[in-house]
Amino acid sequence: MGVGKRKLTMAAVAVVCAMTVLGAPVTAYASQAKPAEPTPSPTPTPSSSSSSSPDPGSTPVTNEELERVRTKLEGLYHDAAVATDAYNAAEEKADKQSEELVDLAHEVVKGQQKLDKLQDLIGAAARAQYRGAGLPPEVRLWLSENPQDFLEGADRLRQGQLATKGLLAEMTQTQQDLEQYSKDASARWEKLETNRKAKEKAKKKIKKQIAAAEELEAQLEDDERERLTQLEEEAAQKSQAAWLDSGILAEINGKATPQGKKAVEFATNQIGKWYEWGAEGPDTYDCSGLTSEAWAAAGLTIPRTSQEQWRQLKHIDIQDMRPGDLIIYNADASHVAMYLGDGSIVHAPRPNRKVSIAGAGTMRILGVVRPDA
């Protein structure tokens, strides 16, 4: 899955080698493969009342208590989605900074090679000038059998001095460039470390929220979990019915572009694959991993996270939606789905769920964006 793409290791090796040439101290941080994730053991309860915390072997909980459980689960998975977006954003920034560090490393190596060459040229020019300038000009003129030869030699000497001066200026500039590359590399290392910490913090929060949700569900008996699923479906159907009853579907009649059709085809081909936070396929996806990869398959690069998709892509009125457009959900843009037409979406819902088709109005819509505007 998409938990670190190994580019950071490559950048670390390249820059550390290059910075060694300069003699500048560098602290390297390399991304690591995703370790086996231990499961925390929080003890959430649906409410402050002990009777609302389902316990295997006890009297089955009421629908009201299950509704509180559903609401609690919704909140936990929402927080996990927000943290997933933060994780994905930090990972995307780290990948970009890793690539920049590799480029800087190449520039450092080229700059050092250029500096070495300039030093050799300057040394050769200095030796030549020393050999030709051992006597004062008037003595060399007096000793010269041909004054014209002396004048030509003096002109060549002057040109050599000017060339040497140019080489010195170029060497000075190259040294300054190398110093700047060193400063830039150090600054990017600091940003990489900041994003590494942000990723780790987001990862911990994701795991904590998901573990809490799973433990909460585990406290239910099998028949109670079935009733909880039914309550979730009923809530979604009620929300979708209210959205359709608004008459919005009668106003939506946009047709997909060729690119939009390709994006829809890719997304629907992933139906049945499990949700996994931070994943961009090909076997598992999170919500924005699915939409970004679908549009990549259609030949268009879009932001990786749902929040950046909402921020950067063109906003479209709901009634102007067409298949392939992305519907952003929740006030914090923490979820995204792809519109299919006829009031339906395809999305990667949440942990322990598979990529599936749902009603576009089953969640609170923030707005719609169009990748191929």
Helix (H) or strand (E) holding 16, with range, is helix 7-22
- Helix/strand/coil (H/E/C) assignment for every residue in 123-190: HHHHHHHHHHCCCCHHHHHHHCCCHHHHHHHHHHHHHHHHHHHHHHHHHHHHHHHHHHHHHHHHHHHH
Q: What is the distance between the alpha carbons of residues 53 and 262, in angstroms, rounded to a whole number?
A: 47
Helix (H) or strand (E) holding 15, with range, is helix 7-22
Q: What is the distance between the alpha carbons of residues 370 and 276, in angstroms, rounded to a whole number?
A: 25
pLDDT at position 285, please?
A: 97
The confidence band for 131, taking pLDDT boundaries of 50, 70 and 90, is: low
Q: Residue type at 4? A: G
Q: What is the mean pLDDT of residues 187-209?
A: 84
- Beta-carbon neighbour count of residue 60 at 10 Å? 12
Higher pLDDT, 33 or 131: 131
Q: What is the distance between the alpha carbons of residues 52 and 149, in angstroms, rounded to a whole number?
A: 108
**Active-site choice (17, 78, 106, 287):** 287
Q: Where are the alpha helices (DSSP H) in 31-146?
A: 63-132, 137-143
pLDDT at position 43, please?
A: 40
Q: What is the mean pLDDT of residues 258-267?
A: 96
Q: Are 370 and 313 in contact (CB under 8 A)?
A: yes
Q: What is the mean pLDDT of residues 124-151?
A: 54
pLDDT tens digit sequence for 96-115? 766 776 766 666 677 677 66
The confidence band for 370, taking pLDDT boundaries of 50, 70 and 90, is: very high
Higher pLDDT, 270 or 223: 270
Q: What is the mean pLDDT of residues 340-356?
A: 94
In the annotation, is 287 catalytic? yes
Average pLDDT score over the chain: 76
In the annotation, is 17 catalytic? no
pLDDT tens digit sequence for 228-247? 989 999 999 999 999 888 88
Q: What is the mean pLDDT of residues 341-370?
A: 95
Does the structure show a pLDDT above 80 at 270?
A: yes
Place of tokens 């580019």: 7
DSSP state of 18: H
Angstrom distances, CA of residue 256 to CA of 251, 304, 340, 341, 372: 15, 22, 9, 9, 10
pLDDT tens digit sequence for 22-44? 333 333 323 333 334 444 444 44
The confidence band for 124, taking pLDDT boundaries of 50, 70 and 90, is: low
The burial of 134, by beta-carbon neighbours within 10 Å (0-12 exposed, 13-18 middle, 19 or more buried), is given as exposed
Q: Which range is least confidently modeled, 4-8, 71-75, 201-205, 232-236? A: 4-8
∠ CA 260-263-264, nearest 5°, is 85
Does the structure show a pLDDT above 60 at 359?
A: yes
pLDDT at position 11, please?
A: 40
pLDDT at position 163, please?
A: 57
The confidence band for 192, taking pLDDT boundaries of 50, 70 and 90, is: confident
In the annotation, is 315 catalytic? no
List the structure tokens of 168. 């010195």
Does the structure show a pLDDT above 80 at 16?
A: no
